[in-house]
Amino acid sequence: MMNIRYRFIVLANFFSRMSTYFNEFIARAQEFAQSSVWLAILVGVGMPLAEAIFPVLPILAIVTANVTLLGPFWGTLLSIVGSAGGMYCIFLILNLSIGEKFRKSIITRPQVLRFYRWLSNKSTAFYVLILSVPFIPSAVVNYAMSLTSISKKRYAVILFSSRAIMFSVIGFLSSLMKDKPFEAIMIILAGYFLAYAIYYGIVQLVKYIKKRRRLFMSKKTVRDLDLKGKVVLMRVDFNVPLKGGVITDDNRIVQALPTIKYVKENGGKLVLFSHLGRVKTEEDKAKASLAPVVKRLSELLGEKVVFIPETRGAKLEAAIKKLKEGEILMFENTRFEDVDGSKESKNNPELGAYWASLGDVFVNDAFGTAHRAHASNVGIAANKKDAVAGFLLEKEIKFIGDAVNNPARPFVAILGGAKVSDKISVIENLLKKADKILICGAMAYTFLKALGKEVGTSKVEEDYVEYAKDLLKNAKGKIILPVDHLVASEFSADAEAELVDVNHTPADKMGLDIGPKTLKTFEKELHGAKTVVWNGPAGVFEFEKFAAGTKGICEILANLEGANTIIGGGDSAAAAINMGYEAKFTHISTGGGASLEYLEGKELPGIACLNDSEKPKGKKQCAEK
């Protein structure tokens, strides 16, 4: 008891002395300011500028001194100019001198990769809040931000806004407590600690609510609307492959038919719209028209679909007004609006509001773009009272959402494809949720090299080898890698294939497919699984010689009894469909990038913008929209 009391006395004495010394320093500074105003102004700018370079300098003391020397207004203003200007100069110097190539090599190191990705995903408001907290070493944060790809204009706004907020608070309290600047600093620190505690609590509560919402996610669907006589705006994903103006795979059009037919049968006047490819210039428009898509849709429906080759204007508006119940109209590629300022892709508010004005209700049935906040999904939904999911989107939410958030176990994930870097967040998220992760495709070689194995000339992401080593260590046996593979001396359909054990890969050959022993290993791991999610092919399935691995996985999953088998879009979906296994899977996603982000556990803006169901079936409602 005496020991605690003694420590308290020592601490109180320390703060008392600090207060005395600091207040004396301020008094001396006031005398200095009275004798040399211009020098005081120079110091007023110079001290916060120095703090921007050397993070050990106390910004609280500097601003308090400036306010005492020059008054609340000029002291605060000079502090903002010195600190924000200095930090921005340091940011520009580091950002421009290090260069994109060097930044990429730095951020791929395992020890900084997570921090870099965490920084890059934060909002402007978050940065302003963080940099306006005086006890956070803002100069250090500034150094870290110089390694990211944040825009210079956006960062300038962040810096000057955060400095203005922080220094205004400090200046106000310092002016109120002129005779006790040290005590003012203590009050500010205590206030920020309290504010941070409240902020942290709110963040944790929001995370909990979001987690519960994902677990019990239920969105209103087209079934919940009265469509009779209403103009139904429906975003579909008809981004289908074209060759010579002919559609080579109409799966995405076919998948949207149930919702289209439902709207027709229930008396809706249907207005369809979609993107097709990337459109950046006027020249791109010629090969990106939706005319071939409309033709194919008409064939599938057995009736005429009106096509308006425009994205806005009087002609489109007049055609929509002429629609009768059960009729369908489709207007031109939404990405045509990207030619002049990326209005679609950047969710231009005016464009979203205009498209929303064309109809009565909005139905989003485009899972393939659900991970993007575009004018044709989020922009329209923001301007519509009724914004709901179509049947395809509902199915994607059910199968992929349930697989990630509430899977029947055992839950096994199969990840293939070319790059580890493309699936970092997916692997990290699935390590927490899946019972096993089977890794194949070119990305497996980064993991095999992390284990010290010879990989020959196989595709390896050298910058991610250490990261893969960390993942294997943290996985504690969850990650299963290939044990044999087919190798060849060149990347060619005609290359001579050789089957070898992964421990005996020739130094002059590359792996292009998994072998039969690996398939046996995977089959053993998949035995008894109740949920399986597959994203990414096992090999170069486009070449017949190296398609056996991907086909073998299709065969194993097709014969897996009592399991929900889900393909997460992209190349693995294309492979399963082309090989004739489409009907053998529980669900094949229509969205590659969207399914990947869903597997990461992210909230997709194209789904989040839709109306929540008031009473999810069999589930407790956890949050209202």
Q: Which active-site residues does the annotation give? A: 252, 419, 570, 593
CA-CA distance, 598 to 395, in Å (whole number)? 13
Contact 232, 263 (CB under 8 A): yes
For helices 424-433 and 592-600, give the axis angle rounded to 10 degrees.
50
For residue 574, give Cα distances in angstroms to 300, 391, 581, 588, 593: 21, 21, 10, 9, 14
For residue 113, give Cα distances in angstroms to 119, 423, 474, 572: 10, 13, 16, 28
**Residue in this structure with the two tokens 């699936």, named with its chain if needed:** 423
CA-CA distance, 452 to 474, in Å (whole number)? 17
Longest dimension (CA), the chain: 92
Backbone angles phi, psi at 266, to 5 degrees: -105, 20
Alpha-helical (H) ranges within 279-372 are: 282-285, 291-301, 314-322, 349-357
CA-CA distance, 405 to 581, in Å (whole number)? 26
Backbone angles phi, psi at 580, to 5 degrees: 85, 20
Residues 6+ apart with CB under 8 A from 534: 413, 414, 416, 553, 557, 565, 566, 567, 568, 572
Contact 409, 531 (CB under 8 A): yes
Residues 6+ apart with CB under 8 A from 267: 227, 228, 229, 230, 325, 326
Instruction: Look at residue 437 and give its three-state secondary structure.
Output: strand
For helices 59-70 and 2-35, give the axis angle rounded to 10 degrees.
40
Strands 436-439 and 479-480: parallel
CA-CA distance, 400 to 406, in Å (whole number)? 10
Contact 573, 589 (CB under 8 A): yes
139 burial level (CB within 10 Å; 0-12, 13-18, 19+): buried
Backbone dihedral region of 467: left (phi > 0), alpha (psi from -120 to 50 degrees) or beta? alpha
∠ at Cα 37 (31, 39), nearest 5°?
A: 100
What is the SS3 assignment for 152-177?
A: HHHHHHHHHHHHHHHHHHHHHHHHHC
Q: Output the six-digit token pair for 23.
A: 């207040």
Contacts of 384-387 spanning 24+ positions with Cβ under 8 A: 384/233, 384/356, 386/225, 386/360, 386/361, 386/362, 386/611, 387/361, 387/362, 387/609, 387/610, 387/611
Instruction: Look at residue 370 and give its three-state secondary structure.
Output: coil
Contact 327, 270 (CB under 8 A): yes
